[in-house]
């Protein structure tokens, strides 16, 4: 029997989940809207809001899961990567809670957890599988050999795919975080209206820095000719940028699948909520005979459900950490 309470506070969402014998029975996510005023996450504000949110989120998770504090067998937390101040709130709360309840502590790597979100619901991928992990801070192709035996076989050399979405949204004066809004507008636009060059990067790695700049120059140039260019073409710009990002991601994923001879293919992280990426992956699966795995929406963007399932698999191995654990330091993938 195991009831694991998990805390995720790596960026700007305070989330608390409960995993009861391998089933997620609560996944409370308190979003921080304050950052919308600034067009991006302000780390100091994020840590302060985590402090306000964390106790109510824990209380709500216990209510939703119909358990009490006394039922908890272990406390799992995101150790990193993430914003240091935000992580500190989660780590400090987890340590104190585990100490007060006299239960073990479980440290979880946020990027492992995005991948292990695939073990919350059915169908679950079989090992080995390839996972394209695409978030606001990361873009990786990971060869997943077992729950905690993972190898990064390709990654971005500079910016993440999520940043390309968010930066595009900012250029178009859409509010932060813009990725979901680009997705929404893209659904009404023509993906082939404008063309953006695919970065030529060797092997399985990615680069989005030059791509982001090319969008900036493209929009500036168009606006010189027509000041209403954005207003008149918003849906088409979103659809074309989104299409280009998805092509970059899927071309590398296809290359990796061929190189490793693997047809079990998953996507994870915030950008895996993108409807175009989900459709594109389905098309690739139909063409290439892949079995594909896409997490439910609530487990794509940052959430403690994924920390709880990762914590559960560590609990089964008695893989605990001491009270002296620090956030992030000496973390390995
Ligand atoms: O995994 P996540 O919640 O946080 C990090 O670990 O970074 O990912 C957040 C990123 C942001 O860049 C956000 O704009 C992007 O995921 N995102 C999306 C969509 N939903 C979230 N990007 C494109 N389309 C979406 N529907
Ligand atoms: Zn994340």
Q: Which of 300, 315, 320 is nearest to 114 (CA)?
A: 300
Q: Whose CA is nearest to atom 2 of ligand 1?
A: 270
**Entry field: residues in the chain:** 333
Q: Measured in angstroms, how far is the CA atom of residue 186 from the centroid of ligand 1?
A: 15
Residues 207, 72: one domain? Answer: no
Q: Which atom of ligand 1 is nearest to the CA of 137?
A: 7
What pLDDT was estimated at residue 104?
98
Residue pair 209/163 in contact (Cβ under 8 Å)? The answer is: no
Residue 325 lies in a domain: no
Residues 310, 271: one domain? Answer: no
Q: Whose CA is nearest to atom 1 of ligand 1?
A: 270
Is 71 labelled a binding residue? Answer: no
Residues 154, 253: one domain? Answer: yes
Q: Which of 56, 64, 77, 60 is nearest to 24 (CA)?
A: 64
Residues 12, 30: one domain? Answer: yes
The ligand that comes nearest to the alpha carbon of residue 269 is 1
Residue 332 lies in a domain: no
Is 214 labelled a binding residue? Answer: no
Q: Measured in angstroms, how far is the CA atom of residue 218 from the centroid of ligand 1?
A: 24
Q: Whose CA is nearest to atom 23 of ligand 1?
A: 179
Residues 205, 151: one domain? Answer: yes
Pocket test for ligand 1, best of 136, 137, 161 (most atoms within 8 A of CB): 136
Residue 13 lies in a domain: yes
Residues 87, 174: one domain? Answer: no
Residue 324 lies in a domain: no
Is 302 labelled a binding residue? Answer: yes
Q: Measured in angstroms, how far is the CA atom of residue 301 from the centroid of ligand 1?
A: 6
What pLDDT was estimated at residue 331?
76
Q: Which atom of ligand 1 is nearest to the CA of 114?
A: 1
174 to 39, 216, 238, 324: CA distances (angstroms): 9, 14, 11, 43
Residue 283 lies in a domain: yes
Residues 102, 220: one domain? Answer: no
Instruction: State the CATH number of the domain containing residue 175.
Output: 3.30.420.40
What pTM value is reported for the model? 0.95
Residue 311 lies in a domain: yes
Residues 107, 148: one domain? Answer: no
CA torsion angle for 109, 115, 117, 118 (degrees, to 10)?
A: -150
Residue 329 lies in a domain: no
The ligand that comes nearest to the alpha carbon of residue 185 is 1
Residues 85, 159: one domain? Answer: no
The residue segments making up the domain with residue 186 are 126-294
CA torsion angle for 51, 55, 58, 63 (degrees, to 10)?
A: -150
Residues 235, 150: one domain? Answer: yes
Residues 170, 281: one domain? Answer: yes
Q: How many domains does the chain have?
A: 2
Residues 98, 27: one domain? Answer: yes
Q: Measured in angstroms, how far is the CA atom of residue 11 from the centroid of ligand 2?
A: 8
What pLDDT was estimated at residue 316?
98
- Region for 269 from its dihedrals, namely left if φ exceeds 0, alpha if ψ lies in -120 to 50, beta otherwise: left
Instruction: Write down the H helix ranges in the chain.
Output: 43-65, 84-101, 110-116, 161-171, 179-186, 209-225, 229-260, 275-288, 304-316
Q: What share of the chain is helix, strand, coil (3-state, %, to 5)?
A: 50, 20, 30
Residue 185 lies in a domain: yes
Residue list, ligand 1 pocket, CB within 6 Å: 11, 135-137, 162, 165-166, 177-180, 183, 269-271, 273-274, 301-302
Q: Which residues of the chain have pLDDT under 70?
A: none
Q: Whose CA is nearest to atom 8 of ligand 1?
A: 270
């Amino acid at each position: 029997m195991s009831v694991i309470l998990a805390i995720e506070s790596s960026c700007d969402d305070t989330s608390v989940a409960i995993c009861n014998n391998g089933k997620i029975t609560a996944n409370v996510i308190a979003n921080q809207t304050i950052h919308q005023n600034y067009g991006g996450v302000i780390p100091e504000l994020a840590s302060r809001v985590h402090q306000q949110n964390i106790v109510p989120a824990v209380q709500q998770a216990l209510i939703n899961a119909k358990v009490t504090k006394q039922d908890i067998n272990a406390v799992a937390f995101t150790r990193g990567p993430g914003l240091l101040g935000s992580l500190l709130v989660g780590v400090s709360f987890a340590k104190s809670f585990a100490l007060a309840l006299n239960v073990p502590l479980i440290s979880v790597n946020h990027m492992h957890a995005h991948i292990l979100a695939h073990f919350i619901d059915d169908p679950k991928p079989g090992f080995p599988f390839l996972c394209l992990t695409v978030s606001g801070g990361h873009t990786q192709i990971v060869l997943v050999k077992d729950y905690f035996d993972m190898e990064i076989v390709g990654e971005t050399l500079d910016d993440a795919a999520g940043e390309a979405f968010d930066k595009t949204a900012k250029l178009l004066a859409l509010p932060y975080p813009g990725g979901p809004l680009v997705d929404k507008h893209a659904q009404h636009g023509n993906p082939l209206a404008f063309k953006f060059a695919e970065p030529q990067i060797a092997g399985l790695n990615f680069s989005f820095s030059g791509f982001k700049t090319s969008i900036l120059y493209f929009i500036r140039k168009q606006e010189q000719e027509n000041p209403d260019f954005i207003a008149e073409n918003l849906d088409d710009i979103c659809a074309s940028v989104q299409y280009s990002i998805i092509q970059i991601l899927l071309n590398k994923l296809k290359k990796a699948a061929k190189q490793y001879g693997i047809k079990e293919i998953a996507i994870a992280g915030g950008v895996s909520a993108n409807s175009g990426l989900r459709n594109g992956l389905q098309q690739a699966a139909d063409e290439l005979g892949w079995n594909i795995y896409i997490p439910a929406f609530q487990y794509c963007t940052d959430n403690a459900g994924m920390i709880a399932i990762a914590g559960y698999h560590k609990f089964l191995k008695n893989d605990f950490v001491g009270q002296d654990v620090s956030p992030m330091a000496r973390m390995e993938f």
